[in-house]
Structure formats: structure tokens, C-alpha cells
């Protein structure tokens, strides 16, 4: 019995050791969490401010890497004559990711005169087209925030795979990095980004892979307490690791 126990222990060291070696070291995102909290404050202020004459209702932060992040609902938007609330946290997340990875980001500021994720005939969409043409991104992530009652952490909208433009491994790898960061509750095409004139549809029709990320609100409110900050940290770990990988994709 003693010999058998030793043999089992050795097997555990051999095989379990190999398994443990695959566990990644988490990134220290404390400073990024602090930045994300600070960067959300202007978006909160913009919610109550109408667009002034000559003021841009979106902004572009250019990056050095072939990655594009969109936050079309960072501020309230106008749809069918009604004002819809912002996807709180999406703007600060997009900017924080861009600063940390060298990605380019396009996000709304103030109240959008049109919902750029619902209509095509607007300056936001034209700027997206212009940036995609020049940057030639390997992936575009279209960031949105879902109600906290949704049954997932992140839902990936792919227009039923159409928005991947044949590069399905881009979604598979994104799922992998989410899992590695501890984000296991993932969904696909709960919101498929196929209805209306979505940014994901717009980008993929340009021949560029795009994934709509509907992120549960509890993952983008790090100022609400430690557990929320941890969830935001998991999200940052996953997406930063993914973008690091994307840079080397052929």
C-alpha cells in the first residue's frame, strides 16, 4: 500500500505539475482600476450636458497597434426621438484598455444626436470606416454594457459568426483568455448584433473581424466595492492578454 501511495504521488507531481505550469500569473491592475474609476467621472458629467454648437460628440484616441476598440454608447444617445441611457463604464473601460495596450479607441462624448449603433448615416460611423481603412485592425471589439440581471458575464455578438469574417479562432482565443482570467460565464449571440445597423455589422461589412461584447454591468463598476473591483480586474486581465496575443496574429 505504501509503494502504491508513493507511485500515485509521483504521478500527481508529474501530471499535475504540468497542469499547474499552465496557470498564468495575473497582471497587477490596481493602477488601471484607479484610472478606470477616474476616467468614468467625465462620462458621468457629460450625461447631463447637451451637445454644444461645434462640439464633437465623439473622440478618437489613436494607437500604435492594429487593434480598434469602439464605445458607441459611452454617453446617452438619441434613438427614434427618445434619449437612451449610456452604457456606463464602457467609455472608461475602452480608454483604459487603449492606454494599456496601444489600441485605437473611438468613443462618444456628450449626448449623441443619433445612436451610432442603430443608424448608419452619421459621423461616428464614417470615422469608424476611415480608421478601419487606415489602421487595418486585426480585430475590432465593440464594447457595450448589459443590465446586471443578464444571465452572463459577457455575451459575444457575432451576427451568428458572420462578423468574424471567417476568422473564428479570434473568438475562440478571446474565450480562452477570459477563462484564464476566471471569467467562465460566457454567452454567444444572446445579442447577435444582427438587428438594426450595429457597429459590428458596419465593421464586418467592411471585411474586418468584429465582436460585439455585451459586458455585465457588475464588471465595469469598480468604484462600488472590492468584489466589483476584482471583477473589473479580471476583465482587464483577459482583454489586455488578448490584445497582446492579437498583435502577433498573421
Reported as a single tens digit per residue, the pLDDT across 94-130 is 999 999 999 999 999 988 889 999 999 999 999 999 9
**Residue 76: its pLDDT value, please?**
92
Contact between 239 and 183 under an 8 Å Cβ cutoff? The reply is no
Domains of the chain, residue spans: 28-246
Q: How far is CA 224 from CA 32, 33, 77, 96, 217, in A?
A: 16, 12, 25, 18, 11
User: Residue 73: which of 51, 88, 95 has the closest Cα?
Assistant: 88
Contact between 77 and 84 under an 8 Å Cβ cutoff? The reply is yes
Q: How far is CA 126 from CA 20, 131, 133, 157, 199, in A?
A: 47, 9, 11, 22, 11
What is d(CA 220, CA 88) in angstroms, rounded to the nearest whole number?
8
User: Taking the mean position of all CA atoms in its chain, how far away is CA 78?
Assistant: 22
Q: Which residues are CB-contacts of 27 (< 8 A; sequence separation ≥ 6)?
A: 236, 237, 240, 241
Q: Predicted confidence band at 53 (pLDDT cuts at 50, 70, 90)?
A: confident
- Cβ–Cβ contacts within 10 Å for residue 173, how many? 17
Average pLDDT over residues 165-182: 97
**159: pLDDT strictly greater than 50:** yes
**Residue 11: its pLDDT value, please?**
41
**4: pLDDT strictly greater than 90:** no
What is d(CA 53, CA 110) in angstroms, rounded to the nearest whole number?
12
- Cβ–Cβ contacts within 10 Å for residue 13, how many? 11
CATH of 28-246, one of 3.30.360.10, 3.40.630.40, 3.60.21.10, 3.40.50.11540: 3.40.630.40
Q: How far is CA 40 from CA 143, 150, 207, 220, in A?
A: 15, 22, 32, 10
Contact between 129 and 202 under an 8 Å Cβ cutoff? The reply is yes
Share of the chain above pLDDT 70, in %: 90
b vs e for 131-157, b when ≥16 Cβ sit within 10 Å of the residue's Cβ?
bbeebebbbbbbbbbbeeebebbbbbb
Q: Predicted confidence band at 47 (pLDDT cuts at 50, 70, 90)?
A: low
Q: Predicted confidence band at 240 (pLDDT cuts at 50, 70, 90)?
A: very high
Amino acid at each position: 500500500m505504501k509503494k502504491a501511495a508513493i507511485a500515485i504521488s509521483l504521478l500527481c507531481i508529474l501530471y499535475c505539475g504540468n497542469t499547474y505550469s499552465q496557470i498564468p500569473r495575473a497582471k497587477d491592475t490596481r493602477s488601471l482600476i484607479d484610472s478606470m474609476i477616474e476616467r468614468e467621472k467625465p462620462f458621468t458629467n457629460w450625461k447631463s450636458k447637451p451637445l454644444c454648437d461645434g462640439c464633437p460628440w465623439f473622440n478618437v484616441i489613436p494607437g500604435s497597434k492594429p487593434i480598434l476598440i469602439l464605445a458607441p454608447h459611452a454617453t446617452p444617445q438619441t434613438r427614434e426621438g427618445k434619449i437612451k441611457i449610456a452604457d456606463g463604464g464602457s467609455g472608461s473601460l475602452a480608454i483604459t484598455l487603449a492606454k494599456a495596450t496601444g489600441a485605437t479607441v473611438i468613443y462618444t462624448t456628450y449626448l449623441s444626436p443619433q445612436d451610432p449603433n442603430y443608424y448608419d448615416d452619421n459621423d461616428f460611423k464614417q470615422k469608424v470606416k476611415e480608421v478601419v481603412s487606415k489602421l487595418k485592425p486585426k480585430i475590432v471589439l465593440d464594447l457595450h454594457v448589459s443590465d446586471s440581471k443578464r444571465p452572463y458575464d459577457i455575451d459575444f455578438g457575432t451576427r451568428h459568426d458572420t462578423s468574424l469574417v471567417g476568422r473564428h479562432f479570434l473568438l475562440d482565443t478571446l474565450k480562452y483568455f477570459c477563462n484564464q482570467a476566471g471569467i467562465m460565464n460566457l454567452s454567444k449571440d444572446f445579442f447577435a448584433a444582427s438587428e438594426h445597423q450595429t457597429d459590428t455589422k458596419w465593421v464586418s461589412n467592411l471585411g474586418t473581424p468584429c465582436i460585439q461584447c455585451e459586458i455585465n454591468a457588475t464588471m465595469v463598476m469598480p468604484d462600488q466595492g472590492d468584489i466589483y473591483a476584482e471583477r473589473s480586474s479580471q476583465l482587464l486581465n483577459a482583454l489586455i492578454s488578448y490584445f497582446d496575443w492579437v498583435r502577433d496574429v498573421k
